[in-house]
Structure 1
Amino acid sequence: MPWESIFPYTYYVQWSLYWDNNVTTLDEFAAMGYNLIHIVPTGSLGDSSFPWDQFQPYLDRARELGIFFQYDVIWSPSNNTAMIEQVTRLRSHPSILLWYQSDEPDGKSNPINSTGLAREKIWELDPYHPSSLALNCYDFYYSDYAKGGEVILSDVYPISTNTSWSTVYGTPCNATYGCCGCDDCNGVFEDISDRIEEFNRRDDILGWEKTHWSAPQAFGNETFWTRYPTAAEEVVMALLAVNHGAKGLVAWDFPTTAELSVVTQKLAGIMTSAMIAKFLLQTPLMKLTVAGGRRVDATIWVDKHKKQALLSVINLNYSDMKGVVEVSLPNGLKIKSVSQTLWGDVVWEIDSPKMVSTSRGLLGLQVSLVVLRLFD
């Protein structure tokens, strides 16, 4: 069977809030367009004796649907029995894409060597699937905790939270103290891209390669967060992470609002396509220069063999941008035409083979994802 590239796009979904209603939830979820399942082991899945009889039909149905798992192995620093049982039993299941061994171990102050030990044990049992984990903190023993995974998720939740004062604990939040729900954040979209860029910078210093995914915020009205993100904010958060190198997206969490469910289903139809996987996983990412406004994030991926490029432009401002916005291409690339619009309704004009522009400006939080045809 030939190898297939996929760009994972999905939600974290708690077992007791959705899946355990019926195995048909797998069909329902897959029909929404998501290509990965992350079952958070709440409810009966957290029992000391794992309910295999209850769970096996879900494994069987996932195999039939051809949908993959980021499989949560219920690992604890003080007891790895459940993890060993899960990995040993499921390591040859065709729906296993990767193991998820730790959720915010840094935020929980788990022993700093714990994720590395878990990874070593998983590799002893199954050297064929990568391990993943989510990190909560901006700068808390990154090199120690990140040892535990080939895939590192950053869960940065900047929407509707006070990043300087903890409304939950009644304390200030700064670089060394306090918890505001988004560590070392400023409450702006750039918190997401800054985290990915910083983790990549540390990877270079440490001399290792990690694959970075992002966990866009799809929740609210709880603890630190006063509201849910809007649909426009959700798309900005997801594609901003992609613009800065995220190779997968797992939003927290589903079920979510009807508004977010609609927009993420629409986005799933694009992000899980073979064309997007080809661009994002097999071609280099290049950041672009934008003239005509501040806080416009632009990235291009170039497929020289097919003479095509994927262009992503995001207005990070809530306000509209008036006037001409120009995006310059890297040296050596020449635009022939805009061949396909994947997201948004920005009308791009080709001013020269090395520049696209829109004379209409950009609306607040407007996102444009287009395919460009290039000259030979």
Structure 2
Amino acid sequence: MRFLKTAILLLSIPTSVASSHCHENCLQSARRCLKVDDNLMVIRSCKRESANCRDSCRKAGHDDNPVGLPAPLPFPDKHVPGAILHQHEGAAGLARVGQDGETLPILPVGYYQYTINQPHDTTLANEEVIHSMSLTAPYVSSASPDQKWFDDMDAFLDRAHALNFLVHFQLIAFETLDNSDSVMANMTVQINHFKDHPAIFAWYLADEPDGQGIEPSLLQPKYDLIRQLDPTRPVSMVFCAGGAANYLSMLDLIMVDPYPIPGSHAATVDDTLKSVAVLGKPIMMVPQAFGGGENWSRGPSIREERLMTYLGLLNDVVAIQYFVRSTGAFPYAPNAWNEIRKVSGEISMLTSALAGGTRIKDITADNDNISVGAWTDRDDSVVLVVANIGQEGLKSSGMFTVEIPFADADSVISQFEDSESVDFSSDGKTVTIMDYLRNYDTRVYRIEKTKQTNKITDDDNMVYNPSFDVALVPGIIDGNYVSPGSDDGATFAQDGRISTNGRNSLRLSNPVSDQGAGFSIAPYTIGDWGHGLDGSSKFKFSVNLKGAEGGEEVTFSFTNTIFDIDEAQVVKLTSEWQAFELTLTTIEEPVCPYGCRSWLSYALTTAGTVWLDELSLVAA
């Protein structure tokens, strides 16, 4: 990406203009601004200034509401593989239909990127998938693509899908074009070509159309065409000011991109998101992850990145797409991006509640600076999110008390502070928590009716953390040795959306089927913590497994200096949970140093995604 130009014609907001000219003056200023340079950031700045200018016109009473537009369509709800659903089965957020027809909640976190065919584009998703990111939106839209463009996009989508990444597909090259037969035919070709690809998340139709003065009548036919050709994915547009209300009949997903830093406090994104929520459409947040030029003299700090993102969660955003991720350019501060990565890992652990649970009403806090929200999770626990939006520096009061209408509680933990116990009280109807947060700080509590245990039914299980519920670092299963494979895009992670016991399972993903491409997992020491196993003893090994599509293979290798077994056990999975059981016998004199480390290793040895739960080794 080129550096930002400094010679930019900035727009002025009209203060005393006749109603019939206020909006037109904003648009004329935008057109002059756009002639300065074709730099992408300059274009965005011009559109943003124009959108803010027009919003000031509305606030001054200058109406620009379009007439004659159809009523908004409901969110796509076709239940087929790859479809994106909203509020499915009463859940609060988005869900995605898998290839086997199963629906899992999703809360995609990712970024914009500029290209798809440069050397760093092949590594960007690899770098971020291990941090639980799963969404990208490349600026490569074309209204007249050549064959190389199609080939590059096919390859990009294929790799994204292999990494479990979703692609927010931009159609913004069409946004200012007319609706002639040739234009609509070109759009039809693109949508038909890509609509069945499982990596497609949504169709990104327009970028701040209000600031450009794109008439709704120009976008409505394009939206209608997209929904006709693909009734499975939403259509999105992004807005920075008050213009979204004029385009409700031609979008399914409102993107909001408040970039307050450094001109405003990070907490101002809260008011922006609330102003859009009243429009009734699901919201996708575009947090600021850039700065250092133009109207933004610096990028957000570490604390500001965290606060803005968590305020998005508290306002029920269904996806998060940072602007912008560009290798070596944005963000300028690597530590700020590292905080985004950290937050992404936290969100992955909250997805089952925030996207798949139900928001609890009537949560109260006794401090006006404290923003709170609570959701039920799939195991009947409650996730409580708290953020301090105070704007008076670190010294302002951060003490708060939160009351949650909840029948009873056995425990409360601070989930991302080593799952430490938190003092609470409960009268059988309400759970009360008292704590302290500095300004900008966030915290996540988990309230449990029944304290989680990590044993399966048989208390004689010799495996530590058998249901993968212990993870003090978000997403990283405790009690296992992990060896990376040859593909940097392979991942392992705790997954709270699906399990057979407890809250979590272990998810393994491989982009390719090459032997040794994915992670190999070796459970921690068995036996009596440092003592060996007796010779010629029998044990029952079992584990539950499930594939995303069916046909995936997981290979279990037992150490033949401990057990009388030489061959690796290959288990071919279906898309339903299945149990794999095996009787093991120790050799006559098992070599079991250091408490039987490396007694087992297992790995996904084909491409795809699988889940494991309830790993068990008991005396037979």
Range 362-371 or range 49-58, more displaced: 49-58
SS in 2 for 1:325: strand
C-alpha distance in structure 2 between counterparts of 1:298 and 1:152, whole Å: 23
Q: Which residue of 2 aligns with 1:151?
A: 253
C-alpha distance in structure 1 between counterparts of 2:278 and 2:397, whole Å: 35
With normalisation by structure 1, the TM-score equals: 0.80
SS in 2 for 1:15: coil
Q: Is the 8 A contact 1:243 1:298 kept in 2?
A: yes
C-alpha distance in structure 1 between counterparts of 2:237 and 2:196, whole Å: 21
Q: Is the 8 A contact 2:288 2:324 kept in 1?
A: yes
Q: Is the 8 A contact 2:411 2:421 kept in 1?
A: no
Q: Is the 8 A contact 2:414 2:420 kept in 1?
A: no
Equivalent position amino acid for 1:364 in 2: N
Q: Is the 8 A contact 1:342 1:371 kept in 2?
A: no
Aligned CA distance change for structure 1 residues 115 and 343 (closer, same or farther; 3 Å): farther
Question: C-alpha displacement at 1:146, in angstroms?
Answer: 2.5
Aligned with residue 27 of structure 1, among 122, 126, 129: 126
C-alpha distance in structure 1 between counterparts of 2:420 and 2:304, whole Å: 17
CA-based RMSD: 2.7
Q: Which residue of 1 aligns with 2:139?
A: 40
C-alpha distance in structure 2 between counterparts of 1:323 and 1:35, whole Å: 34
SS in 1 for 2:300: coil
Matching of residue 372 in structure 1 with residue 452 in structure 2: no
Q: Is the 8 A contact 2:411 2:447 kept in 1?
A: yes
C-alpha distance in structure 2 between counterparts of 1:260 and 1:344, whole Å: 22
> 1:223-302 residue pairs with structure 2 within 5 A?
223-255=294-326, 256=331, 257-273=333-349, 275-286=350-361, 288-291=363-366, 293-302=367-376
Aligned with residue 214 of structure 1, among 285, 288, 308: 285
C-alpha distance in structure 2 between counterparts of 1:343 and 1:146, whole Å: 41
Question: C-alpha displacement at 1:284, in angstroms?
Answer: 2.0
Q: Which residue of 1 aligns with 2:37?
A: none
With normalisation by structure 2, the TM-score equals: 0.50
Q: Which residue of 1 aligns with 2:146?
A: 49
Question: C-alpha displacement at 1:299, in angstroms?
Answer: 0.9
C-alpha distance in structure 1 between counterparts of 2:303 and 2:156, whole Å: 33
Q: Which residue of 2 aligns with 1:326?
A: 401
Question: C-alpha displacement at 1:278, in angstroms?
Answer: 3.5
Q: Which residue of 2 aligns with 1:88?
A: 192
Aligned CA distance change for structure 1 residues 62 and 199 (closer, same or farther; 3 Å): same
Q: Is the 8 A contact 2:414 2:443 kept in 1?
A: no
C-alpha distance in structure 2 between counterparts of 1:137 and 1:243, whole Å: 20
Q: Which residue of 1 aligns with 2:166?
A: 68
Identical aligned residues as a percent: 20
Question: C-alpha displacement at 1:155, in angstroms?
Answer: 0.8
Q: Which residue of 2 aligns with 1:12?
A: 112
Q: Is the 8 A contact 1:114 1:145 kept in 2?
A: no
SS in 2 for 1:335: coil
Matching of residue 132 in structure 1 with residue 236 in structure 2: yes
C-alpha distance in structure 2 between counterparts of 1:346 and 1:316, whole Å: 24
C-alpha distance in structure 2 between counterparts of 1:315 and 1:337, whole Å: 23
Equivalent position amino acid for 1:232 in 2: R
CA displacement 1:31-81 (0-9 Å, x = unmatched)? 332111211227xx6875362233332122123222211111233231545
C-alpha distance in structure 1 between counterparts of 2:294 and 2:437, whole Å: 34
Structure having the larger proportion of residues in helix: 1
* Structure 1: 5+ residue stretches without partners: 162-186, 204-209
Aligned with residue 381 of structure 2, among 308, 317, 320: 308
C-alpha distance in structure 1 between counterparts of 2:260 and 2:358, whole Å: 29
Q: Is the 8 A contact 2:157 2:167 kept in 1?
A: no
C-alpha distance in structure 1 between counterparts of 2:418 and 2:322, whole Å: 21
Equivalent position amino acid for 2:357 in 1: Q
Q: Is the 8 A contact 1:33 1:272 kept in 2?
A: yes
C-alpha distance in structure 1 between counterparts of 2:448 and 2:419, whole Å: 18
Question: C-alpha displacement at 1:339, in angstroms?
Answer: 3.9
Q: Which residue of 2 aligns with 1:197?
A: 274
C-alpha distance in structure 2 between counterparts of 1:3 and 1:375, whole Å: 27
Question: C-alpha displacement at 1:196, in angstroms?
Answer: 2.4
* Structure 2: 5+ residue stretches without partners: 1-99, 452-620
C-alpha distance in structure 2 between counterparts of 1:324 and 1:239, whole Å: 19
C-alpha distance in structure 1 between counterparts of 2:250 and 2:417, whole Å: 35
Which protein is bigger by CA-based radius of gyration?
A: 2
Q: Which residue of 1 aligns with 2:176?
A: 77
Q: Is the 8 A contact 1:334 1:375 kept in 2?
A: no
Question: C-alpha displacement at 1:352, in angstroms?
Answer: 3.7
Q: Is the 8 A contact 1:196 1:244 kept in 2?
A: yes
Equivalent position amino acid for 1:218 in 2: A
Q: Is the 8 A contact 1:313 1:369 kept in 2?
A: yes
Answer 1 or 2: higher relative contact order, Cα 8 Å, separation at least 6.
1
SS in 1 for 2:293: coil
Question: C-alpha displacement at 1:156, in angstroms?
Answer: 0.9
Range 333-342 or range 4-13, more displaced: 333-342
C-alpha distance in structure 2 between counterparts of 1:63 and 1:280, whole Å: 21
Matching of residue 3 in structure 1 with residue 103 in structure 2: yes
C-alpha distance in structure 2 between counterparts of 1:344 and 1:78, whole Å: 53
CA displacement 1:100-128 (0-9 Å, x = unmatched)? 11111112211123333221010121112
